Every structure is written in C-alpha cells, then in structure tokens.
Chains A and B, each alone.
Chain A
Amino acid sequence: MNHMPKPPRRDWTIIALMAMLAALVVASFATLPLKWREFFTVEAINGSIELLAGFAPPESGLPFLTKTFWAALETLAMSGLGTLLAVIFGLAFSLPASGRFGAAPRAAMRAVLNVLRSIPELVWASIMLIAAGLGPLGGTLALAAHTAGVLGRLFADSLENAAPLPEQTLRTNGASAGAAFFYATLPQTLPQMMSYTLYRWENNIRAAAILGVVGAGGLGQMLKYHLSLFQMPLAATVIIAMLLLVALVDGVSFAMRRTLTR
C-alpha cells in the first residue's frame, strides 16, 4: 500500500497576508508622486554629473585638513561619550526592565525604554539643542537618550534570557542577591552586552555625523556649512573624513566583537 504523507494544509491566513502586503506596495507606488522619468532625463543626468564634478578635487590644504581632523575627533567624542552614557543608563534601566523587581516595574520601565528608542536621534537632537544650546553637548545627549532606550531593551532581554541556574546556585550557597547577579548573571551576559554596545557605537558614529547638520557640532556641522555655501571641494574633504572615520570605527568594533564572541 502506498502510505504517502498528506500534503500540508494550505494556510489561507498567510496567503491573505501576502495579498494585503502586495496591495499595500502597489498602493504606495500609485499614491506617491514619483517622477521616475524626470529622474532619468538627459538634463537631470547632466546636472548630477556637474554637481559631482564640483566636488573634485577635494580640498587638501593643511589648515583645512587640521580643522577637519579636529571636527572628526569631536564627532568621535560625541559618539563615544553618547554611547558610554547610554550604556550606564541602559544597564540601570535594564534591571527593572528584565523583571528583577517584579512585573509592574518591568512593564513601566519597558514603556519608558519604548519611548526613548521610538524617538529618532534627529528629533532628540532638536529637543536637546533647545535645552543645551548649539554644539556637541546637545548631540551627545541626543545620542545617549536614543541609545539608552535601545541598549536598555537589549540588555534587559539578555538578562531575561540568561540561564537562571548559576544565580540560583549562588543564592543557595549563601550569596546575596547582588553578589549572585555580579558573579553569575552579569558575566554570562557581558560578552553579548559588549557586542551590542560596540554595534551601537558603530551606528552612533554615523548618527553623530548626521546630527551635526542640525547644529550638534563635529563633521556634520562642517558639512552643512560648506554645502550651504556651495564650497564643494571643502564639503568633499569632510565627506571623505566621515567615510574614513566610519570605516575606522567599523573595523575596530568588528575586530573587538569578533574577539568577544570567539
């Protein structure tokens, strides 16, 4: 006798969802005034080439390179300090958010973290610039606020997913709740937390460059200034500095994360 297994039942829910998704994509294209044809006209292409040609050659005078170098350091400092503040607050927020103090503090802190990370860095920067004024402080606080929300949530999930047995073992052996956390749960989650932190630092170096555009200092502020004056060779040098900085931080972060997860 032929005992062929029955084919799986067709799941109409998935098919309906896929159809809805396809309808949404079609509706999006239909409603947005996308002028694809104008984008590919000879005039548009020539305009783009002319604009890009204006960037060459990048400014290479020593005074401007020195100025760019200090702006890059400012961007680096903003991202580093913003990430460090986010780690401190994120770790503090993650303890109640992981349910260590009960269900109600967990829900309340997760709601706070949702708010912190739902507001993008640029919006945080606009708020912080009103409070702290133009310059790198506002940008740093903006990065810290958004990233604390992201890291707080990720750290809380790591703590919740950590194996409970080591901490229970220590508690049974007479360790205080704090000692059990620091000896058992934190060391388990630390490599993952470090990895998340380094990844967010990578993101923050990019965000720090953008935040300068709204007046938060660093390379972004220089870029906005020179672009607004159509000083394209100077803007090109700033863009190259941004690329180099991002590549450098990405490389360092990647190497460190690989070491941690080895």
Chain B
Amino acid sequence: MLELRNLSKSYGGRPVLDQLSWHFKAGEFVAIMGDSGVGKSTLLNLIAGLDTPDAAPGDTPILVDGIAMSGLDDDAATRLRRARMGFIFQAFHVLPHLTLLQNVALPLLLNGLSTTRAAEMLAAVGLGGREHDFPHQISGGQMQRVAIARALVHRPALVLADEPTGNLDPDTADAILTLLQREIKATGACAIMVTHSQLAAKKTDKILHLSRNGLQETTIVKPFEQ
C-alpha cells in the first residue's frame, strides 16, 4: 500500500530522516513512536506530499498504491491526497463555520461524490442526531470523532493521524482509539499514527520506533516523553 525506499530529508544540511525504508500493508494499523524532534511529523508530511524528500532525479522514495509521490506536481499530489488519503490531527482541525454533517461531507464534496455517506459516518462515530450542530456545541472528544468520520468518509486507502489523542483525557482517548481501530478495520485502510502515548500505541497492530537508525519494529513500548 505504502512503500518507503531509502527516504531521506534534511533541513539546512541537517539530516532529519536518513535512508528510511518500510513497507506498510493495506488494512494495517501502525503506530510510529520516537523522541521529540526525531522526524515523526516530517515523515507524515512527506508521505502526504506536503513536503518533498531529498531525492535524485528518477528516485522514488515514496510510493502510494504504486504511485511515486516525488513524480507528482502540486496539483497531482493534491488530487492524490483528496482521493486516497484521510487526515486526523491532534487539534482536530474541524471547520468552525460548518455543521458537523458539512464537516464530514467535505471530502465527499471535494471528490465529487454523493454526500449521503456523511450522515452514516457521523452515526457510526456515535454522533447520530447531531448533524446540524456546530463544532462549538460539542466537546473535544466529540470533535475528534467528527475528525475521524471526516478522515474515513471517502474510504481512503491511507489514513495519517498525528497525535490524534494528544488533547484528550485518558478515557476519551481510549474510546477514540477503539473507534479509530474499528473504523479502520471496517474500511480496510492502512493507518499510520504518530504518537507519544504508550496506551495509544498498544491499540495498533504494529509499533515502529523511529530513531537516527531508522524505523524498527518493536514490541516494547519505551517510556517516551509525554
């Protein structure tokens, strides 16, 4: 589904990611952990095509469904993100001037699809009947539910989550992760979640540890800084 081939990125000559390689399979829920500043968010931005990797002409360091991200111009990368990716952010990024239903329907509208699935998705995340409420009328946990519904409504092949439970209390975080896990399995998407939380990581199929030595699978959750 997603392949990283010797992916490198440096800022001002300082390497952040160095020769990173991994193969992520469809239907897999993967946590990426690591110390602050090790390049976790950079990695997500590179996969999403929001940043460009260091690559020689002809290199294909990131392949999404067999499509080389580095070969795409800005418009093509935008279209790829729109059709095949879903995003979940720590700060929810729910649009304040749209209703919950309109927020969830956005990826469908952008892809020119019917918006009927938006209400189904909202019900699936436990917010049925709240379609016409606005984000300021709901709690942080409910906003993250809306964000999950929005990320999955158009059945993306790849879901990228950056600290999705970072702003939530432990009970709400657990409920959100259970929901995310269930919805990812239901849609068959590959999901990559960057997190510092050991509890969050334990909910995934696989935990990868990102360090200067690259990505390594681990079963031991290290006490990373919170």
Chain A interfacial positions (CB closer than 8 Å to B): 165-166, 168-176, 179, 183-184, 187-188
Contacts and interface: CB of A to CB of B under 8 A. Distances in A.
Contacts of A184: 95
Interface of B: 48, 50, 75, 78-83, 85-87, 89, 91, 93, 95-98, 106-107, 110-111, 150
B106 A176 contact: no
19 contacts: A165-B91, A166-B93, A166-B95, A169-B89, A170-B95, A170-B110, A173-B85, A173-B86, A173-B87, A173-B107, A173-B150, A174-B78, A174-B79, A174-B83, A174-B110, A175-B82, A179-B110, A183-B95, A183-B98
A174 B95 contact: no
Contacts of B107: 173-174
A119 B201 CA distance: 64
8 closest residue pairs by CB, A with B: A174-B82, A174-B81, A169-B93, A187-B97, A166-B95, A175-B110, A174-B78, A172-B87
B92 to A, nearest CB: 9
Contacts of A179: 110
Given A169-B89, A170-B106, A183-B106, A176 B78 contact: yes
B78 to A, nearest CB: 5
A188 B97 contact: yes
Contacts of A187: 97-98
B109 to A, nearest CB: 8
Contacts of B82: 173-175
B69 to A, nearest CB: 13
Contact of A172 (B48, B91, B96): B48
B93 A165 contact: yes
Contacts of B111: 174
Nearest to B89: A169
